[in-house]
Every structure is written in C-alpha cells, then in structure tokens.
Chain A
Amino acid sequence: MTEKKIGAFICRCGGNISDYVDVEQVRKEIAREDNVTVAGINMFSCSDASQEDMIANIRENGLDGIVIASCSPKLHLNTFRAMAERAGLNPYQYIQVNIREQCSWAHTHNKDAATRKAVSLVREGVAKAKLSEPLTPIELTAQPSVMVIGAGLAGMRAALALGEMGVTVYLVEAAPEPGGSIKGRKSLFPDNSSGHELVESLLERIRANGNIVLYTSAEILEKTGSVGNFTIRIQVDGKNETTLSVGAVIVSTGSGSYRPTDGEFGFGLSCVLTLNQYIDMLDSSTDTFLLNGRKIRNIAYIYCVGSRRTGKEGNRYCSRYCCSAAVHTAVRTHEVDPSIGQFHFYRDIRTYGAYEELYHEALKKGSVFLKYGLKDPPQVTEVSGSGLRIRAKDLLTGAETVELETDLVVLVTGMVPGENSQLIDILKLPVGKEGFFNEIHPKLRPVETVMDGIYIAGACQGPKTLSESVVSGMAAVAKSASLVLTGKVNLDPFVARVLTEKCTGCGECISSCPYGAISMKETPDGTVVEITESLCKGEGACVAICNEEALEIKGYGHNMIKAMIEALGG
C-alpha cells in the first residue's frame, strides 16, 4: 500500500471554535502526524471560499484522505462529502471531526483541556482517514410495480393512486370480496357517506384503470428478494399459484374488532351488543326499530370496552375512532326515532378535531352523558321481563349511583390487531407490543418499516378512522412511488463484509441478523458465510458475535477502529 496523503483542516468557525480551542496549536500538532501532507486553518470551512481552497489543496497535493475538524457532522457531513466529490476524492474518504460541540462549546471554562481534546480527536480522525477506503453506495434497480396487501378502503385507494401514476399494482385481498370492514355500511361518520357506495365507486375506478390487477380469496405464500426486487408467491382460491415481481409492498390489512369476554358488561345477554353489531342492526332495519321483536325505548352505551385498561386484562391503548363512531351512531338513532332515550357511559369523550361537532349534535338531540371511572365500572344485569338494568356511579354528579332500565346495551368496543401471523412471518414485519405493525418512526418515517421497501398503511398500524387510513395509504403511495418511479434504490455502503480467510463457517452470525441478510456459501475452500448487501442494515450485530473477527462493517473495519482508539489514547 502506498503511503496516504492526508489533508487536515482546522476550522475557526469565526471564533466559535477558535475562542476556546487554540487552533494554531492543534494545527501544529497535527502537522507532525505521519501521512499528514497538509495542515491548514479555515475561518469558515463551510464557506464557499474555504471549500474552493480545500478543493485546490486536494488537487494540487494529490490528497487521498481529508479530515475537517469543525462542527457536528449532522450539520456539514454532506456539505463536505459533496466538496470531496467535486475535488475528485471519494466522499467516504472524508472524515469529519467535531471540535465545536464536543470541544469549544462543551469546555468553555477550560481552554487548555478543550485544545488537548481537540488534538486527540483530530488525531483519531487522521487515524481513520489513513485507513479509509473508497466506497460506493449500493445502487439497485427497482421493479416498476407494487403489491398492495389488503383491499380495504386504504388499500384500494392506494392501489388506485399508484395505478394512476402508471405503476403496475397487484392488489391482493384475502376475503372473497374487496372493501374491508366498511363495504356493508350504510352511513359512516362523519359525513354519513355510504360504505357500499365508497367501495363501489373506487372499484369502478380501479377496474377502469388498466394497471391494477385484483386478486381476491388470495393468500401470500412466500417472499424472497429485497427492496426494489421482491418476488412474492401467492395462491388464489386455495389452488392457483402465481409468482409476482414487485419493487415495493404496501401492507394494509386493517384491524380486527375487540370481542368482549363473556359477561364483560353483560356481554352474552341477548340485548347486549357490540357497537358493530348494533350498527349492523341499524343498517338492516327499515322504518321499524325492533330488537327481538320488541320496540326499543332506551339505549345505554358503555365506552372504552376493551380499551384504556390499566390492569392485565384488555388493551392499554385508546382505540381512537370509537367515541366518534358511537356518537355518530347515537345521532343516527335519534334521527330514526327521536323518542328513544340514549345514555352514554363514558370515560373521556374523544371526538377530536371536527368530530367534536358530532358530539354536539348528539347532545343537542338529547343524548345524556354520564362519566364512569375504572374503579366502579357500570354493572349490567338482566331484569326478567323488562330488559336490562345498568348500575353505575356518575362522576359528574358527585359519584352518585345511577340505576337505569334499558332495552339495549351497546358496548363501544375498540380495534384490535388483525390475525396476521402468517404474513408477519413471511414479510418479517415488525410488530409493536400491542400487536399492530410498527413504523420506523412515527414522525420521521411513519409508513416505512425496518424492512426496506415494505410500507404499512391504515389500521394495521394502529387504530385509525377511515379517512386517516386512506391518508396513510396515500402516504405509503408517495414513499413507494419514489422507489419505483425513479427505478433506482441507493443504499448506504456501510454494510457488513466477510473476511473469508478468517471465517470458519460456524454460522453463529446468521441467527444474530434480524434482517436475514447472512447465508451460508459453499466455496472450494470450505463453507463460509455471505452477506446480501441489499438486506444488510450495517447495524453490526454479526460483527460483535463473531469470535474470529471475520466480519466487519465497511468504513468501520477492525483495523480502523483499533487505530482510532490507539490515536485517542496516544
């Protein structure tokens, strides 16, 4: 290996650094280091003028590694990588050392120590630069097609949007019919739209769009490949198998509905229904409004059934949509028969945003709201001949005990994760502690999963209203479209590499990899492991587990890390 020529540039940051760190001292000490050909000082390294100076320096001195000691790489790593590239240097041979946040700003009280620390850190950077090697981002081509799993409203709308962008879409639905949970609904909150009509109009647009293939009664059997190039085997109607190549996958499998345990708030009694059962009844009833042949005079709603529990039973989370759905249902009921008395036993009414108007409407139409606490939940008992009796403590009237005879109790039940264990297994989908699919980050990457190229949308991610499900479906469209429309996938080059001469083929690392990126490979010299770069995230679990030091992350090799530690210590 020829001797590297390294340029080190110390930034004053207009005083931000040089007021506390003796930059000239740092420069002098670094100039003495082996391989350091150039050691300079910039007033502002990030300014155009300084960048041009450094570019000239790199070219004139034929530098093949540079260190800039300035601010946090969060700020200017990309700036200087781009500069290195303009100078003809591989951007990964640029090393940034943070002597602002970590030295001058942190140690304003002790300038000597700040300077000494800066010298150590820059030495460490030089040690890294000495061993740096040119790396190229991994570029993959992406299939111009997307699979959408789950043809509920979110999935259908997502498929349509992608189809309209000219992307081939395979819309895969497990049920015999598309439409998900709303297809039979007559009136949905907040605007009383018909679920049936929504589904039908979307289906019409999907059929009219030539890019969307709909599979119903279909099941996912197997997934191979990685982002940009997935190969997915599906089975339709339990017999016909098809293999599809797609660049990305959107999972929009929806949610299930909480089923109360027997006896929970009287569940199991004939006049105790879940909200969904009651809405079914409302949807199917015509002008008369009867239950078991009897006219309904009073309805009691019990909210948060199976949600917001603090104990071991039930779910801790709030199901988000149920308050609004319940008050909307109450408004509908008032409209069907204004003489029906409606009593709501709630904990907090969460009709957030504009849904608040539904709550007002229910109040205006005569709904009565009573607040119960978790300590004294309402008790539902059957009264022979006259229906049900509900007994509760109303916190709004000084925890007075209220007794109410009612013909119907509606349990406002929340959402639960759908049954997806097979899909989770095949797609390696990350699942949160509640059983819903997990995004990478709720704010930064809300529809992306740790599996590159696999996106989640709708209520499979957590309770959502219908419109919110569609919104997240469309967000997943945007993310997947950027992948398949550009046709390219760029991955960071910081992936694991196998030093085959050291690998004993023990296979310990394979199980340590959460992404399934490591596999066995037979070679003439024996069995070793190999890395599928497109699956590797470079997180390094395999590096730590390997006893032979036969694995390392590119750009963070064992030699390099050791040299850096030595430079810091020396």
Chain B
Amino acid sequence: MWQWFHRLGSPRWFYQASGKWLPWLAGITFVLLLIGLMWGLGFAPRDAKQGNSFRIIYIHVPASFLALAGYYVMAIAGAVGLIWKMKLADMVMKSAAPLGAALTFVALITGAIWGKPTWGTYWVWDARITSMLVLLFLYMGVMALQHSYTSVDAANRASAVLSLVGMVNIPIIYKSVDWWYTLHQPATIKFTEAPTMHPDMFHPLLVMIAGFYCFYALVLILNTRSEILHRERRSSWVKDIVLQNQR
C-alpha cells in the first residue's frame, strides 16, 4: 500500500514518470490559460464602476491564491523531507521557494497597477496588501537561507525548519495585521468590492484559477526536474540521459 509513497522518494522514478505527465499537463495549462485570458480579457462584461481596469483580477486573484498555497506546498514538502529524509521532497521544497516568491511579487505588482485607477494610488497600507508583503519577506528569508549554506543537505534542512516556523506563524501574522488594520482604518479608502460577482465575470475567473494551479504544478515539476538532474549529476542514469540527448 505504501509502495507509491516509497517510490516517490526516488528522484529517478519521479524524473521518468513526470516526463510522461509533462506533455499532458502543459497542454491542459495552455488551453485553460488561453481560454481564461481570452474570455476574461475579451468577452467578459465591463465592470459598471471600474470599467475595463477590473480585468486585471484575472491575473491578480489566481496569483494571490497560489502565492499563499505555494508557501504551504513548500513547508509541507520541507516537513516530509525532515521527517522521512526524502530527497525528492527536499528538491520540491527548494523549487517551490522562488516560484512562490515570484507569484507573490506578481500579486503585489498587479494589485498596485489595479490600485492606481481604482483608488488613485499605487500603494495603500491595507491589511491584505501588507500581509502579502510579509509573505514575500518570508519567501525571501527561506531563499536567502537556502543559498547561504554550502552543504546541500544542511541548506535543505535549515530552510525546511524555517519554512515550518513560517507556516505556524502565517495565521498569527495575518490575524495581527488584520487587527492592526481595523484599528487604523483610513476613512478615505473603502476596500469593499462588489460582494457578489456577476456569473459572466466569475466563470472566466474560475478558469483562470484552474489554469494557474496547472501552471504552478507544471513549473514546479520542471524546476524539480532540473534540480534532480543537477543533484544526481554524478549518477549513471543521468549520464545516460545526457549521452542519449547528445547522440
């Protein structure tokens, strides 16, 4: 019953298996993103108040979703690596950090671009924006720690410990930033969006969220595969692959 779990521990098995999934996953991602973008940017109705500028949510919302989910992916992979000493989990954790940081950055930037026409300013010290910024700092800390160790094993275990500490702290940080915001709420800016979205606007968003999830999985697998090749570069099966490609 646990065979699949033990098999996952072998980078070689994962490299070969994921090679078969990749074309499918890439195809699904491409189709979903294409449909979502065309539907959302081209065919969804204009927002009554915000006009066309609201359309950035089709990038902003999925990116913010995955920025947070990505931290949990990273921390859980780190925990698996710490507990079961699984090499593959370490590699997934290392690959998830820059990906999550990039998505957090995209969410912040798109939010700022959206904020200018909507509230007239690029940056507001709003609870959600501030929490996103803190999330970016947490990602950066894990990445900086990962890069500062020379030993690969120590780097993995140290950043796994840090990402677990961060995961425990994320709800606390979010709650406290929320509390801080309600205390200092500026009167000029109302962050209440339309509470219910029109289905014509909502359906493309769902497609985009699904597309971003697939995109995340795709990039994570690609990053992990290159990490596998790099770490296992001395093993014979990697040499065989390289020789095959050169022929």
Chains A and B form a bound pair: no
B residues contacting A by CB (< 8 A) are none
